[in-house]
A and B are shown apart, each in its own frame.
Chain A
Amino acid sequence: MSVRASLAGNGQELVIQVDGRFDFSAHQEFRDAYESASQVRKYIVDLGGATYLDSSALGMLLLLRDHAGGDHSEISITNCNDDVRKILAISNFEQLFTIQ
């Protein structure tokens, strides 16, 4: 598991890449990734390298959403594999996030 964050779009977009198993062990790193960035308007969570996510990962996504402004937040979840996409679909997270 690893979490990497990088800024794009003139520093207004934060790309958070999570690789491997996205579960509770990523908690602190994932939080650090978005809490250390300021002036960010749009968030992209790249799960291209994520093999699995559990309910605490869903919880972390909700925390990010809260941090990003709740209903006014702009968060895309990208590059999900089929398993990950399925978990997001079961939880109906497409109602809260843009899933690509």
Chain B
Amino acid sequence: MTAYKVLIADDNSVDRKVLSRVVRNQGNEVIEATNGFEAVDIFTEHRPDIVLMDVMMPGLNGKEATRQIKSIAEEDFVPVIFLTSLSDAQSLADCLESGGDDFLTKPYNHVVLQAKIDSYHRMSEMHRTLLNQRDEIARVNRHMLQEQRVAKAVYDNVAHAGCLTSPNIRYELSPLAVFNGDVLLAARKPGGGMHVLLGDFTGHGLPAAIGAMPMADIFYGMTAKGFGLREVLREINQKLKSILPVGFFCCAAAVDLAPDRQAASVWMGGVPDCYLLRNDGERIETLSSRHLPLGVMSADKFNDQMTEFPMANGDRLFLWSDGIIEARNSDGEMFGQERLINVVRDSAHASDVYDDIQRAVDEFVDGSEQDDDTTLIEVVMDDALREDNESGVTKAGISQGPRDWSMEYRLEASTLKSFNPVPLMNHIMMEVPGLRAIGGQLYTVVAELFSNAFEHGVLGLQSSMKQSPDGFIEYYRQREKRVAELEEGFVRINMHHTGVGESGTLTLTLEDSGDGFDYKRHDREEGSGNNYSGRGIPLIESICDSIEYRGKGNEVSVVIHWPLEQAT
């Protein structure tokens, strides 16, 4: 059994000696004090585990000595048990009220005495553990906050390096933790205009911030180099897909402002409806999410299709994360889409909407705790954005890079079985700064031409199969089978580029080992509305200046002049 250090304070020497013997016989170490003053001195010097204190003592009585001992002990728990011959309820209650923890009435019962000493010892042990844990938690917390402050500084440098402070943007990011599940990015495009991205990562804090770092890096890096927003999104999606665990993703709305064309395009995945307000009108135009969030789909299934709409100077776009809609009041009720649209509808003018939304949400929430990050951004179309960005790649930069070059890449059957050349082709084209702005579209063109050459040419699959949903599945079943059985065939890709600096021409020619098709007939039937497939997909037509089939239809050549004349 463990020996405890027990202080016994009693002015009656007979009582004290008797009690000392009992306590000592039970295996404890005993220190004796003959009055209150001595008890306090001995306590200070020896720091006993437990104190047995006579209530009535001359000089300093037991209650006062207890008060002083408790004060010296500070936050340590030192149990004081009063020794008393009184037995009326009020006297016993007084003992506890004066700061004692318990009482023992004379004559002492040895068994109860030892049990009490043991019990209080356990309590002080527990108290000590608690204090240690509290101190440890406080220490760890201080350390973590310090680390987070440093990390946040790094994070802010990466995530907010852009132009959120532009006069055409107003925003609010309210962080739940030191870090924030919401990300706002804005960057000027080299040739004028702006990219804006609002992201809402699943979860908050560290996991969200970790995903935001590469996202911001890609966004700013690629925008500065002149890549189009579709290409930027494609890259971000692929990055997030590869680094985030399954089940973590980023809902996002991305906007490409093109003041020279007085137009904007959006890509929305997993974010609530956003509103477009005309400077001169009362109508609210709603933009809806059409895609899965970023980081869900693999690169080959990612849909980078954007929705374009006219946007004149002074027109405003409002974007938000679900935090605004899900903001709760003290009754747990959500703010909701309906209240939001009512606020927008009731605003006197488009320029008041931002303030009105903020005020309405604040009033609704009224100090109750937030569940989610609430992020709100207003983007106004502004003619001033037409001017070149001073930093990053300017128009002069576009004239650099490779101008006149060509290359040929021939893939044989064994390569075609498992290798997709499209990313490599795209990579080579992206060395030309002027092509970066249309990187997303170019990617689609090359991917489409290549899959036509490979699937319809080399594998001999009929595109007409894809016209029904059942056929669509059958098509891919057949494709898998034929790829596995493929033994001969080839696809030859030729890229040829000429440029004079601020403009250029890219010619892509693909030839395959297949039987070709009757392109003359196909040309006549064009526009007959086959939804699932087709060799002349509208996108290719919209970006290419010419599409020409040659020979027996197993060779196609497309020409693209940049910069593009009109919207794509």
Contact = CB atoms under 8 A, between A and B. Distances in A.
Given A91-B270, A92-B270, A59 B292 contact: no
Contacts of B271: 90
B247 A92 contact: no
A63 B247 contact: yes
A90 B289 contact: yes
Contacts of B251: 55, 91
A36 interface: no
B246 A96 contact: no
A55 B288 CA distance: 18
Interface in B262-308: 269-273, 288-293, 296
Contacts of B203: 55-56
Contacts of A59: 202, 246-249
A92 B202 contact: no
Interface residues of B, number: 21
Nearest to B201: A55
Nearest to B371: A54
A58 interface: yes
- Which of the listed residues B200, B203, B247, B291 has the most CB atoms from chain A within 10 Å of its own CB? B247
Interface string B199-218: 01011000000000000000
Interface string A56-100: 101110110010000000000000000000000011110110000
Interface of A is mostly: helix
Given A63-B246, A92-B269, A92-B270, A55 B202 contact: yes
A95 B292 contact: yes
Contacts of A58: 202, 249
- Which of the listed residues A55, A63, A92, A93 has the most CB atoms from chain B within 10 Å of its own CB? A55
Interface residues of A, number: 14
Contacts of B247: 56, 59-60, 62-63, 66
Contacts, number: 47
Contacts of A96: 292, 296
A91 B246 contact: no
Contacts of A92: 269-270, 289-292
Nearest to A62: B247
Interface string A10-26: 00000000000000000
Contacts of B322: 55, 90
Contacts of A62: 246-247, 249, 296
Given A62-B247, A91-B251, A92-B270, A56 B202 contact: yes
A6 B402 CA distance: 63
B366 to A, nearest CB: 21
Interface string A32-65: 0000000000000000000000011011101100
A30 B479 CA distance: 36
A63 B245 CA distance: 9
A91 B202 contact: no
B372 to A, nearest CB: 8
A95 to B, nearest CB: 6
A56 B372 CA distance: 12
A93 B249 CA distance: 13
- Which of the listed residues A59, A90, A93 has the most CB atoms from chain B within 10 Å of its own CB? A90
Contacts of B249: 58-59, 62
A60 B203 CA distance: 12
A21 B319 CA distance: 26
Given A55-B202, A56-B203, A91 B292 contact: yes
Given A62-B246, A62-B249, A90 B270 contact: yes
Contacts of A63: 246-247
Contacts of B248: 59
B530 to A, nearest CB: 22
Nearest to B293: A91
Interface string B117-133: 00000000000000000
A95 B296 CA distance: 11
A93 B292 contact: yes
Nearest to A64: B247
Nearest to B203: A56
Contacts of B273: 90
A58 B248 CA distance: 9
Nearest to A92: B292
Contacts of B270: 90-92
Contacts of B202: 55-56, 58-59
Contacts of B288: 90
A45 B332 CA distance: 26
Contacts of A95: 292
B181 to A, nearest CB: 9
Interface of B: 200, 202-203, 246-249, 251, 269-273, 288-293, 296, 322
22 contacts: A55-B251, A56-B247, A58-B202, A58-B249, A59-B246, A59-B249, A62-B249, A62-B296, A63-B246, A66-B247, A90-B270, A90-B273, A90-B288, A90-B289, A91-B251, A91-B292, A92-B269, A92-B291, A93-B292, A95-B292, A96-B292, A96-B296
In order of increasing CB-CB distance, the 7 nearest A-B pairs are A59-B247, A91-B270, A63-B247, A55-B202, A66-B246, A62-B247, A92-B292
Given A58-B249, A59-B248, 14 more contacts: A55-B322, A56-B202, A58-B202, A59-B249, A62-B246, A62-B247, A62-B249, A62-B296, A63-B247, A66-B247, A90-B272, A91-B293, A92-B270, A95-B292
Interface of A: 55-56, 58-60, 62-63, 66, 90-93, 95-96
